Amino acid sequence: MMSGVSMAHDLSELKVLIIGAGASGLAAARELLSHKCRVTVLEARDRVGGRIHTVEVGGNKVDMGASWIHGIGPNAEDLPRWKRRYNPIYQLAKDNKIQTVPTWDNETNTKISFYWNKTPGKRLDDSLIDDLFDRIDEHVDQSVPFASIHTSVEDILEDFEYGSTPDSKEIYDAVANFMYCQVDGAELSDMAAKYFDEVWKFDGEEHVFPDGYKQIIDILSKDVNIQLNKVVTTIDYTQDKVVVDTSDGQIYIADKVIVTVPLGVLKADSIKFIPNLSKEKERAINRLGMGLMDKLCLEFPEAFWKKDKDSDWICYASDTPGLWVDTLNVHKYFGKPLIVMFNIGKAAIQMSSLTDEEVLESAMKAIRNWYPNAPKYVNYVRSNWGKDPYSRGSYPFVKVGATLEDFDYYREFDSTQERIFFAGDGTVKGMIGCVHAAYISGVDSANFAMFGHKYEYSNFSHIKLEESRSKFKEMLYILPGLIFLLLALIVPLIFTL
């Protein structure tokens, strides 16, 4: 557990209401409870976890929302705050002896099998796909520095030389979708090229949970006062106390409120704030994007995809970009006859309005393009995050026209008289869309609610202290070498005199 700053305050009378029982809300609750605050969590659904949702498919645990610990650590890029520290989600797993399994150490190092709808049963040549990956990646890297906030990823790929035939265009579309669209759950035309790669992940391997991400939620929700089926409609912060109304007619009063609902819910104006949020905050929320990625998990009598048993992903160049663009080979990690198929952006929106039978028919058509003799599935489960009124999408991204500063406006609390605080996976600039971002923001928002800017300054001072310590240690390592070099220069001079 990340610890907040130690302040000589009696917080036992501080009453805090948290909206949302996902990773962010529960992390905030536990941090507040560790300081003896009075905490209540209101959750709109009939379950906890938010977009972490572990279900059973034929006796197997499957995550239909968040799945990965994105880098177990230690360290996150060059961020001083995380120097020598694990990803807090992995730290929770370690502390509570929750099993995790490594998948890859970097998504660019994954093993991929690629199929194309025009050549049923035949896998595309790996060298062709590798060449496309390398050339697209190089083209984007060279173009991004010249992008403005209004430049999309699609814009900078307009002059990419993928070939002159409709066939080569189809394969290119699938590769580009796999490379970029799954990161944001959005179309290439919506993703801001200037910022699409501005996500800081923790170093180290990416891990998944054989028994589901819900184990982390179970740890975080233990002994927390959570009220389910409470749909918040209004948050009034015009007075000293904050008044919160729910759709069932109940009224809650608190000193502070932490709002952890997904960005998609805020974008839909599902909650009325009195007074309205600041123009800067409203503009930031409206400018940022909420991506959509949906999953279909299928269980089969056996893992019939033996020629691709070592692949992490089975990818598909269909005639509809984004449709079943990638499929995770779950069998590789858990030894279960399971695959998880993904739809992204427009394809996910298209699928969201179809019946289960129609979605399954589309999925099996794709699978039998790869494996003409594939058997029928025995169990399935699908997600539909876009139609979920308490999510309205999968995870946030930087949309064309937005900037990284919009995340700061989204999170800031001065304009709400330091009574309303915002947390979630869209409030941590540089770590958007990850569970660890939701968790970190929950802990931070709790500390801001308790200590205001004193927490920010204390945390900043802690970072500076760590940097000073690191520089001092580096000097200690360098000092013997400097002394030796100095002696090497001085001693010969002494003998020549």
Supply the pLDDT for residue 156. 95
Whole-angstrom distance, CA of residue 68 vs CA of residue 83: 21
More confident residue, 276 or 183: 276
At residue 170 the predicted structure's pLDDT band, cuts being 50, 70 and 90, is: confident
Whole-angstrom distance, CA of residue 178 vs CA of residue 391: 23
What average pLDDT does the structure give for the chain? Answer: 90
Q: What phi and psi, each to the nearest 5 degrees, are found at residue 428?
A: -110, 100
The yes-or-no verdict on residue 418 having pLDDT over 90 is yes
Note the CATH number of domain 15-51+67-101+210-289+391-454.
3.50.50.60
Supply the pLDDT for residue 481. 56
Q: Give me the mean pLDDT over the 68-81 stretch.
A: 92
Whole-angstrom distance, CA of residue 244 vs CA of residue 418: 16
**What is the percentage of the chain residues whose pLDDT exceeds 90?**
80
Lowest-confidence segment of 34-38, 270-274, 277-281, 403-407 by average pLDDT: 403-407
67 contacts 208 by C-beta, under 8 angstroms: yes
The overall longest dimension of the chain from CA atoms, in Å, is 95
Whole-angstrom distance, CA of residue 475 vs CA of residue 483: 12
The yes-or-no verdict on residue 119 having pLDDT over 70 is yes
The yes-or-no verdict on residue 471 having pLDDT over 50 is no
More confident residue, 483 or 70: 70
Domain ranges of the chain: 15-51+67-101+210-289+391-454, 103-201+291-387
Q: What is the pLDDT of residues 204-250, one digit of tens each?
A: 999 999 999 999 999 999 999 999 999 999 999 999 999 999 999 99
Domain 103-201+291-387 - what CATH class? alpha beta
At residue 166 the predicted structure's pLDDT band, cuts being 50, 70 and 90, is: low
Q: What is the pLDDT of residues 30-66, one digit of tens each?
A: 999 999 999 999 999 999 999 999 999 999 999 999 9
Supply the pLDDT for residue 428. 87
Whole-angstrom distance, CA of residue 324 vs CA of residue 340: 10
At residue 320 the predicted structure's pLDDT band, cuts being 50, 70 and 90, is: confident
Q: What is the pLDDT of residues 356-379, one digit of tens each?
A: 999 999 999 999 999 999 999 999
More confident residue, 471 or 404: 404
Supply the pLDDT for residue 18. 98
Supply the pLDDT for residue 77. 85
Supply the pLDDT for residue 470. 45
Supply the pLDDT for residue 12. 93
The yes-or-no verdict on residue 478 having pLDDT over 50 is yes
At residue 293 the predicted structure's pLDDT band, cuts being 50, 70 and 90, is: very high
Supply the pLDDT for residue 476. 47
Q: Give me the mean pLDDT over the 16-26 stretch.
A: 98
At residue 335 the predicted structure's pLDDT band, cuts being 50, 70 and 90, is: very high
Supply the pLDDT for residue 337. 97
Whole-angstrom distance, CA of residue 374 vs CA of residue 112: 19
Three-state secondary structure string covering the chain = CCCCCCCCCCCCCCEEEEECCEHHHHHHHHHHHCCCCEEEEECCCCCCECCCCEEEECCEEEECCCCEECCCCCCECCCHHHCCCCCHHHHHHHHCCCCCEEEECCHHHCCEEEEECCCCCCECCHHHHHHHHHHHHHHHHHHHHHCCCCCEHHHHCCCCCCCCCHHHHHHHHHHHHHHHHHHHCCCCCCEECCCCCCCCCECCCEEECCCCCHHHHHHHHCCCCEECCCCEEEEECCCCCEEEEECCCCEEEECEEEECCCHHHHHCCCCEEECCCCHHHHHHHHHCEEECEEEEEEECCCCCCHHHCCCCEEEEECCCCCCCCEEEECHHHHCCCEEEEEEEHHHHHHHHCCCHHHHHHHHHHHHHHHCCCCCCCCEEEECCHHHCCCCCCCEEECECCCCCHHHHHHHCCHHHCCCEEECCCCCCCCCCCCHHHHHHHHHHHHHHHHHCHHHHHHHHHHHHHHHHHHHHHHHHHHHHHHHHHHHHHHHHHHHHC
Q: What is the pLDDT of residues 23-40, one digit of tens each?
A: 999 999 999 999 999 999
Supply the pLDDT for residue 454. 87
Whole-angstrom distance, CA of residue 353 vs CA of residue 413: 37
More confident residue, 125 or 481: 125
List CB contacts of 188: < 8 A, sequence separation 6 or more: 152, 153, 154, 157, 176, 177, 180, 181
Supply the pLDDT for residue 169. 85
Q: Give me the mean pLDDT over the 394-403 stretch.
A: 95
Q: What is the pLDDT of residues 120-155, one digit of tens each?
A: 999 999 999 999 999 999 999 999 999 999 999 999
List CB contacts of 430: < 8 A, sequence separation 6 or more: 198, 199, 200, 404
More confident residue, 342 or 165: 342
Q: What is the pLDDT of residues 427-464, one digit of tens each?
A: 988 888 999 999 999 999 999 999 998 887 555 444 44
Supply the pLDDT for residue 474. 46
